[in-house]
Structure 1
Amino acid sequence: MKSAMTQRARSPHPRIKVRRAHAQRGATAVEFALVFPLFFTILYAIVTFSLILVAQQNLTLAAEEGARAALNWQSNTSMQTALTNRGNAACAAAKLVAATLVQSMQCTPSSAACGPSGAMQCVNVLVSYNYQANPLVPSLPLLGFALPNTLTSSATVQLNPENIQ
C-alpha cells in the first residue's frame, strides 16, 4: 500500500506525461530536417576544399620535380635548343609526377636570362589545372563562388651558361 502511495506521489498526473509525449511526436524529425542541410553543406565544403588543397599540393610537387629535371643535361646543338630540350624534359617529368587527380594539367616551360647581371639562364616550369572545366567533385549551387577557376604552380631553376651545353 505504501509503494502505491509513493508512486502516486511521484507522478500525480500520469495523463499529462502521455499528452506531452504525444505532442512532441515528430519534433525530432522536423529539427533534423532543418539542421541536416546546414551540416551537409559544411561537410561538403570541407571535402571540396580539402581536395582542392591536395590538388594544389600535387601541382606544386610536379612543378618542383620538373624544375629538378631541367637540371639534367640534354643533347643540343646550341644554347637555345639546350634550354628548349631542358624545358621539354621538365614538363615530361612534371607530368609523370602528377597524380591521377590532376592528369589534365598543362605544363608550360620557359627560359630567360636571369641573375643580377643577366649572366645566368633560368628555366621556369609552370603547371596549371583548369578547375572550372574539370572539378574534382560537383559544386553545390552557392559554393561555386568560392571555388578557384584554375590552380597553378611554378618552379624555377637557375643554370650557369657554362654548364648548359
Structure 2
Amino acid sequence: MSQAATIQDGLIFRGRRRRQQGLVAVEFALLWIGGVLPLLLLATVAVSLFSIKQTLTLAAENGARAMLSYQPSMEARRQYACNVAQQATQWLQNYAGIGDVCQNTASTAGTTTGIAVSQPFACPYKTSSTGTSFYCVTVTARYNYAKNPFFPGTASLYGWIVSDSISSTATVQLDAGI
C-alpha cells in the first residue's frame, strides 16, 4: 500500500511538472505578445520616422543649395531647386504613390505632401558690411504621414509621436543682384 502511494505520488508529481512546462510556454507567449512586440513596433516606427525626417531635411538643404546655381531667371532657379529637392525625396514619392511634388506656392499648405520654394523676400538683416542687400528664399519639404503611414494604424496608435505631417525647412541667402 505504501508502495502504491509512492508510485501514485510520483505520477502526480510528474504530471504537475508536465503542466508547469506548458504554463511556462504560455507565459512566454503572453509576455512576447504583450511586452516585446509593442516595443519592437515602437522602435521600428521611430526608425522610419527618423528616416523620413532625415530625407526631408536633406531635400530642403539640397534645394536651398540649388538656389545658388546660376539660372537665367528667378523662376528657373526656383524650379531647379524644387527638382533637386524632389530627387532627394524620390523613395518617399514612390512609396506614397505620388508624382510631381513641386508646388508653385510660397509654402506647402496644410498637410499636403510636397516641396515648395518661396518667392525671394527681404532677409531679416538689411545689408552686409559692404552695403549690399540680400534676399532670402525658403525651401520646405513636407510629407503627410497621416495620409501615407509606413505602418497602417501607427498614425492613430502613436499620435503622441506622429503629427499629421512631417516637414523640414531650409533658407538660403541670395545677393540682391540676382
TM-score range, shorter chain: 0.7 to 0.9
For 2:145, the equivalent position in structure 1 comes to: 131
Which gives a bigger RCO, structure 1 or 2 (Cα 8 Å, sep 6+)? 1
Which aligned pairs between 1:1-150 and structure 2 lie closer than 5 A? 14-15=10-11, 17-37=13-33, 38-76=35-73, 82=74, 84-103=75-94, 104=98, 105-110=113-118, 111-117=120-126, 119-140=133-154, 142-150=157-165
Which is worse superposed, 44-53 or 31-40? 31-40
Q: Tell me, in whole angstroms, the C-alpha distance in 2 between the residues paired with 1:74 and 1:161.
A: 15
State, as a whole percentage, how many aligned pairs show the same letter: 34
Q: 1:92/1:134 Cα in 2 relative to 1: closer, same or farther (>3 Å)?
A: same
Contact 1:55 1:102 (C-alpha < 8 Å) held by counterparts: no
Which is worse superposed, 97-106 or 55-64? 97-106
Contact 1:102 1:129 (C-alpha < 8 Å) held by counterparts: no
Larger radius of gyration: 1
Matched, 1:153 2:142: no
TM-score w.r.t. the length of structure 1 is 0.77
Secondary structure in 2 matching 1:117: strand
Aligned length: 145
Which is worse superposed, 51-60 or 33-42? 33-42
Q: Tell me, in whole angstroms, the C-alpha distance in 1 between the residues paired with 2:161 and 2:170.
A: 26
RMSD over aligned Cα, in angstroms? 2.1
Unaligned runs of 5+ in 2: 1-8, 99-112, 128-132
For 2:101, the equivalent position in structure 1 comes to: none
